[in-house]
Structure 1
Amino acid sequence: MFSLSINQLTTYRSTFDEDVFRCIDRGIGAMGIWRQKVQDFGLEKSRELLKESGVEVSNLLWAGGFTGSDGRSYRESLWDAAQAIRMAGFLECPVLVIHSGGRGGHTTRHARRLLTDGLAALLPVAEEEGVRLALEPMHPRCAGDWTILTCIEEAIKMIDALGHPLIKMVVDTYQLAEAVDAAEQIVKCGERIAVVHLADTRARISSEQNRCPLGAGHVDLESILSALLQINYQGYLDLELFGEDVEGIDYSTLLSGAQSFLRAFTPKCPVNA
């Protein structure tokens, strides 16, 4: 019904090759990769291991920072993002996650212009590599220096304004933990979703993003998954768990719990958006 992927932030303390072997052991066909782990293991070695193992890549974390909130210049962030797109293409990864950077000292209009101009400048590289650029909106309490997009509706408007088939979005279920209309928001996204980051939480949404095992929190995952089925979402569910509530849980337990949760999932009735 759904294809599970394991994000390398979930297995933060593991090396790239350990993550690949863990996927093989658990019968999981894909992982969301973190650029730092690829660089630590080696780009060529990473591609070779992925090809030998048959493990696919669901998405690559991350590029952006066009607003300069991380201290880089606009030109530096563009160069880095182009390198990330090349990395994604080399690893046969279809999706690169994009974070705009926070608003910082810019006006909202100028920050949005930096993001749209940055995406436009990167599209030729994305087209050449066949990589989708996926904007990740975040709840206002998480967005901070990460993004100027603080809700799904803002991401939809930007994607539609740009009007390019390679500009998509990430849906992170943690960011929907307090949304009473999470399923309706998913339906509105439709074909704009490139990848889903899957998480639960017991806590209030915060910048620390304390996540918990699937089904142990209050995120309405059943409604969200049902909505994804309703829009015929064909991409990966990339398990992205980190924070205090999962730090003491071994990785095998986290992964088996996610697999069990998805096997037990029963779709709910369709929703209107």
Structure 2
Amino acid sequence: MGNESPLLNNLSLNQITTDNWNLQEAVEGCLRAEVPWIAPWRHKVHELGLAESKRIIQSSGLKVSSLCRGGMFPASTAEQRQKNLDDNRLAVEEAAELGTDVLVLVCGSAPDKDIDTSRKWVEEGIEKLVPFAESHGVKLAIEPLHPMYAADRSVVVTLDQANTIAEKFNPKQVGVIVDVFHVWWDPDLYNQIKRAQNNILGFHVSDWIVPVPDMFKGRGMMGDGVIEIRRIRNAVEKAGYQGPIEVEIINQSIWDQPGDEVLSKMKKSYLEHV
């Protein structure tokens, strides 16, 4: 690919950024835009089937930066927690088939208003998943989410928490994701990035718009908000991460735009602000 900047060699389209595209369309869009990496979401893989998704990606020559998502470990009953673990094992198999060694974990919420127990269930779920993931050559990447998502998406809300969990396991098996949208506000961020030295498995970029247009679909294009993205990238690289950088933007107004236009804006914003 004729990328004009070395930084573009690490650019990955997190598939949710072009949610109006199926996986085939996203792969074709990446090829047209000369984006060398892609990060599929599982529901997009399931739409076309795992075998067809694998064929599409492999024949394209694109590299897969991660699969989103595993996790969602907590549940009110032991039976449901087991079902959640079984689904995580399936996610591990899918990641391995698609050619990535990184499964992103969005760890799950507190089903019974018991946030401490839910955090315990997260750790237990990861502990049970590790041997299976290791047998498939897949690493588990804990992604802390912004605290506003603690009620419905993740009880792991700081990089400190994610590091503390990851450090209980072999660093070759469990690491962390640094997503600027989720961690930019944290006064301890740079200490925690340093703490995660050589254990960062992914770096995700977008921006925090003021005011936030929507709690879930509220992320902006890089440069449209207040996050010191380049400062965070420099810290992540200093901590040893040299891998793909995923642009992960969840925003209805961006989803409503033609995908090729989104990728064009994405590349421009990425070079200017990442």
What do residues 51-81 of structure 1 show as CA deviations (whole Å, max 9, x unaligned)? 1110111111112221117997011001100
Is 1:235 the counterpart of 2:243? The answer is yes
Aligned position for 2:265: 257
Distance in 2, Cα, partners of 1:260 & 1:142: 30
The secondary structure found in structure 1 opposite 2:219 is coil
What's the CA shift for 1:248?
4.3
Change beyond 3 A, Cα 1:150–1:69: farther
Q: How many residues align?
A: 266
Aligned position for 1:193: 200
Normalising by structure 2, we get a TM-score of 0.88
The secondary structure found in structure 2 opposite 1:63 is strand
Change beyond 3 A, Cα 1:201–1:244: farther
The secondary structure found in structure 2 opposite 1:52 is helix
Amino acid at match of 1:236: P
Stretch of structure 1 that moved more, 216-225 or 112-121: 112-121
Is 1:156 the counterpart of 2:151? The answer is no
Aligned position for 2:3: none
Distance in 2, Cα, partners of 1:223 & 1:19: 29
> Conserved in 2, the CA contact under 8 Å of 1:177 and 1:200?
no
The secondary structure found in structure 2 opposite 1:133 is strand
Distance in 2, Cα, partners of 1:208 & 1:198: 15
Stretch of structure 1 that moved more, 176-185 or 141-150: 176-185
Change beyond 3 A, Cα 1:249–1:71: farther
What do residues 234-271 of structure 1 show as CA deviations (whole Å, max 9, x unaligned)? 221111112245344433233223322333458xxxxx
The runs of 5 or more residues in structure 2 that have no matched partner are 1-5
Aligned position for 1:222: 230
Aligned position for 2:68: 61
Distance in 1, Cα, partners of 2:38 & 2:99: 12
Is 1:113 the counterpart of 2:123? The answer is no
Which runs of structure 2 are paired with 1:116-195 in the superposition (5 Å)?
A: 116-179=123-186, 182-195=189-202
Amino acid at match of 2:215: S
Change beyond 3 A, Cα 1:70–1:257: farther
Aligned position for 1:93: 100
Is 1:82 the counterpart of 2:89? The answer is yes
Aligned position for 2:216: 208
Stretch of structure 1 that moved more, 7-16 or 119-128: 119-128
What's the CA shift for 1:88?
0.7
> Conserved in 1, the CA contact under 8 Å of 2:150 and 2:157?
yes
Stretch of structure 1 that moved more, 86-95 or 202-211: 202-211
Normalising by structure 1, we get a TM-score of 0.88
What do residues 58-115 of structure 1 show as CA deviations (whole Å, max 9, x unaligned)? 1111122211179970110011000110111111111111122112226444323212
What's the CA shift for 1:125?
1.4
Amino acid at match of 2:269: F
> Conserved in 2, the CA contact under 8 Å of 1:203 and 1:210?
no
Is 1:45 the counterpart of 2:52? The answer is yes
The secondary structure found in structure 1 opposite 2:69 is strand
The secondary structure found in structure 2 opposite 1:127 is helix
What do residues 24-71 of structure 1 show as CA deviations (whole Å, max 9, x unaligned)? 111111111111111111211111111111011111111222111799
> Conserved in 2, the CA contact under 8 Å of 1:66 and 1:100?
yes
Distance in 1, Cα, partners of 2:37 & 2:77: 30
